[in-house]
Structure 1
């Protein structure tokens, strides 16, 4: 029997028709989010040109045709668009469900995400979303026969028209509504970062350019002049616990004014100071951690320069401080690469790591053996798992589930607001418990050391406010929930006396003054009695409340008044 009778003959579809269908699909499906945002903005304006509003989807369709057409050649067409559809489906899910914006910073965060963290984002909703919007359309494109131009000359001519006609039409729309688009775009720059697939493609290109343009950048040593300045009246070395929190926002911490009891353990500790106004350097770990351990301020921070440079941990080591980094998160982002490091492995602590990731109590394990018996200054940095989402429910043990019902799932957008808040608040409360346990440990070492603890989170988190979830928003557009972070400090009486810290002054500064990750570098150097040209006294939180500095300021004030 002839083949034509066994299988129906499918008539090939002209590639230009498929290009139009793809442009429409990307606009109405993958870019539904930006269209919704655009119309929300117009709705807030009250009075606007209806033609301007109607033109928006057509602008996206025409622009997509211009961009898509160069990739419509035989042998490139299907592989390119199949890949683009599936990647766009993943990006679309992240944007719609979590409000993620895929700029360069977010792509850096995506690339540096470890396998375990990546899997935490996958759930049934995400799988169904990917199948419906990505996999099925891609399969349809694969099986549909495509008719291409018969000759190269015809192909070039057709594609010239496919680009020229939309450009002319875009020019016509611009002639009518350029001022409107310019005004909305200028006042809402985030819209340009919401267009799929240009956002994640542009972000990836920018990241690759930065990575490879800086590939030959020489590695820079810093703080080689660092040395410990001993105080004559000190009879004990200093032991500092530097605790780097993960994804904790100040708005959910009772010590920062939150109405729920999320700080019940540290609130019982005498002398603990909670700073009320602290801003992060970034909205993702990949930015914030290298930034806070760099001598560069947020305003001039260059991630690649930091990547090719030593960090605060190196400077402390140069000075002769015994340093150790303990990591229960997703790595130190380069800041601990040259110092002793312990990465917590679930297989080593099965009791604390039953859910695939480890509860932060694991940081206390074997700590007595890790604290030096020698009379030397020592700093141990603890990188917590903290409140890492979206699987917040995996960050605390059952015994620490104080707020219920919680949300035991990763597709947090499908939880009720109260369930989500309960789950997140449990993580904050559990971190408070771990910090209190670390302070208790420090107290047990007071016979040998002057002890101090500094806790600060790397960035905050959105829990649905303004339609945003998780973190990683571009800093200039990021809400306060992602940049306002908690910071706490505790000092033993002997340490406070050795540094001559005025407690009332520090409490007042914590309540009224503004600080940021920019203060961490010099504050830690000062706390560990390290002198180096990199140290800046004005950024050292403790220095501003030390008795000698206060007395010098008082003397200078009196002199100025007399003059």
Structure 2
């Protein structure tokens, strides 16, 4: 029989219970049930049998998110129970096939235990935050810093992992594996692999009519198969770079120069680009949200664009993409790395600086320009007021800002300055940490990183308080820019990297693969503010800009819009993707008239 080896000569015959004997029969008559089970587990077994048992256990104990999702999709038990049975068969066969490559000796026990732990951790986060374990999520997780990891740790995580891990850990520790010659072990493992492959193929053929449309219409299901999806995604992220050709950096800065406005104006421009974090457009009061989460921005008469979509659903995907000249499709299809917006601005002769309030950094965007962390170095008094450990509120980026700019090369500052501030913003799940007590207007708020422990009302309060804090931070930044008007023509653009799920469709956080991510993870806020000096410098029409606030935009527009505002000429600039191109100079009058004509009678644009 497959997987049942002959009795090894290295074990004395009297140590193994007779076939058919009850567990614990070799023990004393007064043995407890636990002792009997422990004795039964300690009997010699083939590694293939252990692999089959472990696969069965993981399919049942570590796939509750998948079973719940199949039940939700199916609706009626008559629909989802056959789907669950088919997926269970495929899960077991797939896991056995994968683990058959490890069915060798007792030295494989740590690998098996690691697979169990990985499955347990993956199930916890799938249950708690409704995420899926696709390669993008794993890549994002691998770039998570210590502070973000700390936010994700909880007693619930420990309990959920122990619940899955305890039984197989005990069994793996106690089980004895029968040694076999290499050749015998190899062919038996091969037979096991072929057997489960044939069984899986038969199951797929028998249930193909139901299975094919289910998987085609619900692509996320394939990333919920645990531990197969976690192992695949981990391998994809860690091993795929080893088999890729070495990327080279493609320059895009050739032919870059400053435009005519620099010769005609007495003051240089000062442009602040704030990269937001995890902000949703529909939670900005400026965009019609029922709660007034943005009073500071409203008081400063900013322009808020209401139909903007991100390049990705996580920071690792979105931030490099939004600064790329390639656009979303080109960026995702690229074979090599390319210089980005910051490289072009620096090549033009402007002073550029990236200030980061995320320990995860700029994701490679600022590697070739001056950059710094907002909390290093930091005055102890400021750190005490704004920071907890190495994690600080975004106001920390405004501390010492004048000194940071003064340290930039004088000859570049004389031409103009572009400052990027990368927020901590509304990063979850610990939303309550993203706002200071004086802006917490929405109470009670969720004060746990285990979002399931909080009501939806408390969760929304914590998130909205973080948006209110971003509103105040942006208001302070605009006030700082106004104070620079004697020396510069200032302006600000704020754009979030991605949105966030707050329980809609049972989803939390972000990072769902873009193709089937909900709108709330892709619809992001974008806000602009221009001083009178910058408007005059670039001949910007306020009426034209106000009439275009509902124009559909994406992260693809950022690269070209910033170059247009800063009047930087470069071959990669595309006027059609510049969100403000039509509102500058002579074109602004025509653009304003055409937009006004498109507004129905009795309505105002925007």
Change beyond 3 A, Cα 1:537–1:52: closer
Does the 8 A contact of 2:284 with 2:294 survive in 1? yes
CA distance in 2, matches of 1:143, 1:554: 75
Structure 1 residues 327 and 15: alpha-carbon distance in aligned structure 2, compared to 1, 3 A threshold: same
Q: Secondary structure at the match of 1:439?
A: helix
User: Counterparts of 1:113-512 in structure 2 under 5 Å?
Assistant: 113-134=144-165, 136-148=166-178, 150-214=180-244, 216-231=246-261, 233-270=264-301, 272-302=302-332, 308-329=337-358, 330-345=360-375, 348=378, 349-354=383-388, 356-372=390-406, 374-510=413-549, 512=550
Write the distance in 1 (CA, Å) between the matches of 2:113 and 2:217. 35
Is 1:93–2:124 an aligned residue pair? yes
2:527 and 2:436 mapped to 1: Cα distance? 23
CA distance in 2, matches of 1:198, 1:549: 56
**Match among 559, 567, 583 for residue 529 of structure 1:** 567
Quote the residue 1:63 is aligned against: 94
Shift of 1:322: 0.4
Counterpart contact for 1:291–1:303, Cα < 8 Å: no
Shift of 1:555: 12
Distance 1:59 1:263 in 2: 50
The offset of 1:61, in angstroms, is 2.0
Instruction: Tell me, in whole angstroms, the C-alpha distance in 1 between the residues paired with 2:135 and 2:115.
Output: 18
Q: Check whether the contact 2:94–2:228 (CA below 8 A) recurs between aligned residues.
A: no
Q: Deviation at 1:552? A: 7.4
Give the Cα–Cα distance (whole angstroms) in 1 for the partners of residues 587 and 527 of structure 2: 22
Q: How far apart, CA to CA, are the structure 2 residues paired with 1:305 and 1:351?
A: 45
Report the Cα distance in structure 1 between the residues aligned to 2:241 and 2:49, rounded to whole angstroms. 39
Change beyond 3 A, Cα 1:513–1:552: closer
**CA–CA distance in 2 between the matches of 1:206 and 1:279?**
27
Does structure 2 conserve the Cα–Cα contact (< 8 Å) formed by 1:250 and 1:486?
Answer: yes
SS at match of 2:272: strand
**Whose radius of gyration is greater, 1 or 2?**
2
**What is the Cα deviation at residue 305 of structure 1?**
5.1
Equivalent residue, structure 1, for 2:135: 104
Structure 1 portions without partners, runs of 5+: 557-563
Which deviates more, 372-381 or 219-228?
372-381
How much does 1:214 deviate? 4.4
**Aligned partner of residue 586 in structure 2, secondary structure:** helix
Alignment partner of 2:52: what SS?
helix
TM-score (ref. length: structure 1): 0.91
CA RMSD of aligned residues (A): 2.6
2:604 matched residue in structure 1:
none
Secondary structure of the 1:277 match is strand
The DSSP-based 3-state class of the residue aligned with 1:351 is helix
Q: Distance in 2 between matches of 1:176 and 1:284?
A: 38
Q: Say which SS state the counterpart of residue 158 (structure 2) adopts.
A: helix
How far did residue 355 of structure 1 move? 5.5
Q: Is the 8 A contact 2:277 2:498 kept in 1?
A: yes
Contact 2:70 / 2:80 at 8 angstroms: preserved in 1?
A: no
Give SS of 1:120's match. Answer: helix
Distance in 1 separating the partners of 2:85 and 2:229: 23
Q: 1:112: how far off?
A: 1.3
Residues matched between the structures, number: 550
Quote the offset at 1:100 in angstroms.
1.5
Taking structure 1 as reference, are residues 408 and 50 closer, same or farther at Cα in structure 2, changes over 3 Å only?
closer
Secondary structure of the corresponding residue to residue 139 of structure 1:
helix
